[in-house]
Amino acid sequence: MTDPKNPVELAQALIRCKSITPEEGGALTLLRDVLKEAGFETFIETFSEPGTPDVANLYARIGTTGPVLLLAGHTDVVPPGDVAAWSVPPFAGEVKGDSLYGRGAVDMKGGLAAMISAAVRYLSEGGGTTKGSIAFLVTGDEEGPSVNGTPKILKWALARGETFDHCLLAEPSSVERVGDEIKIGRRGSVSGILTVHGTQGHVAYPKQADNPIRRLLPLLNALGQPLDYGTANFERTNLEITSVDTGNETVNIIPSKVTARFNVRYSDAHTLDSLKTLIAERLERAAGDTRYDLEFLPGASSSFVAEPGPFVDMVVSVIREETGARPKLSTGGGTSDARYIKDACPVVEFGLRNATMHQVDERVSLSDLETATRIYQRLLARYFGAQIKLEPADLMAAVSGAVVEPPVQEPAQLESLQADFPEPPANAISVESDLEALLEAELNLTGTEAQEEAASDSKTADVEEPAGDLVNTPEQRR
Ligand SMILES: [Zn+2]
């Protein structure tokens, strides 16, 4: 029988459940049994939707009063890849040296095990009860389409009348040391396809053809211009062109069209709509008489951030107490299920070191598991001990951080700012102080000059990143 207070044993048991998305693999029932034993009310809910696999999810809660701290995670894992390349079988849960190996060791069965061990330890110290409530929301569909997972179990819980004050998600946020980095938000993501049309013809008779690749180049250059210089909580927005394709395998035909694909990871300087508008306007300006189509793909997500406040401070201070170092507040990396949870309450992500996630020989050091468990346990104690300090007003400030509207800037303003201020400000974009220069720049900008401007802009792409350390003080926000 697994000792639920021991995160190594619990993580081993979880790794032995072969829960490759969307398979439940016994992982959720194992956690349900552990939580039930610890006094939680538990539910396993399976959701369906045409075109996607059915997925099981676990919801559990102990306590009937507020505040409610939601602990969230996923038991599904990505496939092991080349099993022969592993030094131990990926689903054996073997300890080798000072590390536990297996698919999901850090992403995120290890983190989940640490969270559950922390809750069991915390509850047993309090005689099996807590002030307020602890809830667990664990999905089996984070690595897959994420359709029948967190969004649906969250909706299900809210429909039952559950409310959540704050959430801690156990995604592997740490880099060099456990607790050196936590995520307080995530960038938005949107993908697009740009198709440029020309006229097919023989390469030896270019006047009778119109090469779309030549026409694409200024448009790619326009896409490559900086979209912002980062904000208080976010690195600068990044657009990556991921393919340029004609489907033409010959060397003697000028193709009739060319397609470029791109993805943008964006800061809170933009909303999804303002970003789309900015990109569309830049392309329009660069296109001249070029015929092109721009399509944004479905599945885009918005950026979000849990503003620095009492909850973020609490996570920071328990990590500092346990590790001796203050974590960096980050919004980098890819997306996670925090993008759904943020609509219910502010969410912070803290988990194990992410170096081996999704890799062959994914592993976690045993001491990391214990450190993470102690941090989670300390947070539970602090959270429920300190509940009176979380004033409603502070809570509101923290909550509003999740849906804060970024300042909307006209696309033309952004471009003009870049033209006139090649050295980006250290942090947020300054708008009002630059109004005069901006107006002046607008007057001077005309058709062909816009391309020269674009060329000179590209220099700004090489300037140093704003301080990677996104640790914030309220004064830094504006
Ligand atoms: Zn994960």
> Which CATH number characterizes residue 294's domain?
3.30.70.360
280 has a pLDDT exceeding 70: yes
In the predicted model, what is the mean pLDDT of residues 7-12? 98
- Decide which of 349, 379, 402 is a domain's last residue: 402
| 471 and 441 in a common domain | yes
Per the domain annotation, does 64 fall within a domain?
Answer: yes
Distance 282 CA to ligand 1 centre (A): 36
Same domain, 295 and 309: no
Where among 370, 402, 434 does a domain terminate?
402
Residue 160: inside a domain: yes
pLDDT for 164: 97
Report residues near ion ligand 1: CB below 5 Å.
107-108, 171
Q: Does some domain include residue 1?
A: no
Rounded to the nearest angstrom, the distance between the alpha carbon of 79 and the centre of ligand 1 is: 13
In a domain, 472, yes or no: yes
What average pLDDT does this structure show over 157-171? 97
Q: Average pLDDT, stretch 156-184?
A: 97
Q: Are residues 213 and 357 in the same domain?
A: no
The pLDDT tens digits of the residues spanning 115-135 come to: 999 999 999 998 888 999 999
How far, in Å, is the centroid of ligand 1 from the Cα of 352? 10
Q: Check pLDDT > 50 for residue 461.
A: no
pTM for this predicted structure = 0.75
pLDDT score at 146 = 84
Examine the domain organization and report whether 91 and 174 are in the same domain. Answer: yes
In a domain, 2, yes or no: no
pLDDT of amino acid 386: 54
CA of 149 to the centre of ligand 1 (A): 13
Q: Does residue 295 surpass a pLDDT of 60?
A: yes
Instruction: Tell me the mean pLDDT in the region 389-400.
Output: 37
Residue 1: the pLDDT is: 72
The pLDDT score that the predictor gives to residue 398 is 39
Domain for residue 433, yes or no? yes
Q: Are residues 255 and 359 in the same domain?
A: no
> CATH code at 398?
3.40.630.10
Q: Is residue 201 part of a domain?
A: yes
Average predicted confidence (pLDDT) for the chain = 84
Owning domain of residue 125: 7-185+303-402
Q: Are residues 435 and 387 in the same domain?
A: no
Q: What is the mean pLDDT of residues 11-28?
A: 97
Q: Which of 402, 430, 448 is the last residue of a domain?
A: 402
Domain count, the chain: 2
Q: How far is the CA of 61 from the centre of ligand 1 (A)?
A: 22
Q: Which amino acid makes up residue 454?
A: A
Shared domain check, 176 and 87 = yes
Residues 308, 298, single domain; the answer is no
Q: Do 248 and 129 have their domain in common?
A: no
Establish if 127 belongs to a structural domain. yes
Give the active site residues: 76, 142
By mean pLDDT, which of 30-44, 196-210, 302-316 is the weakest?
302-316
On whether both 315 and 385 belong to a single domain, the answer is yes
Q: How far is the CA of 336 from the centre of ligand 1 (A)?
A: 7
pLDDT for position 464: 36
CA 74 to centroid of ligand 1, rounded, Å: 7
> Are 19 and 158 within one domain?
yes
Percent of the chain having pLDDT more than 90? Answer: 74
pLDDT confidence of residue 431: 32
- Does residue 220 register a pLDDT over 90? yes
Give the pLDDT of residue 432. Answer: 32
Higher-confidence residue of 63 and 128: namely 63
CA of 78 to the centre of ligand 1 (A): 9
Distance 357 CA to ligand 1 centre (A): 8
Write the pLDDT tens digit of every residue in 396-435. 333 333 333 333 333 333 333 333 323 333 333 333 333 3
Percent of the chain with pLDDT over 70: 81
Supply the pLDDT for residue 424.
Answer: 36
Task: Say how many Å lie between the CA of residue 447 and the centre of ligand 1.
Answer: 47
Q: How far is the CA of 33 from the centre of ligand 1 (A)?
A: 22
pLDDT at 200: 97
Q: Are residues 142 and 212 in the same domain?
A: no
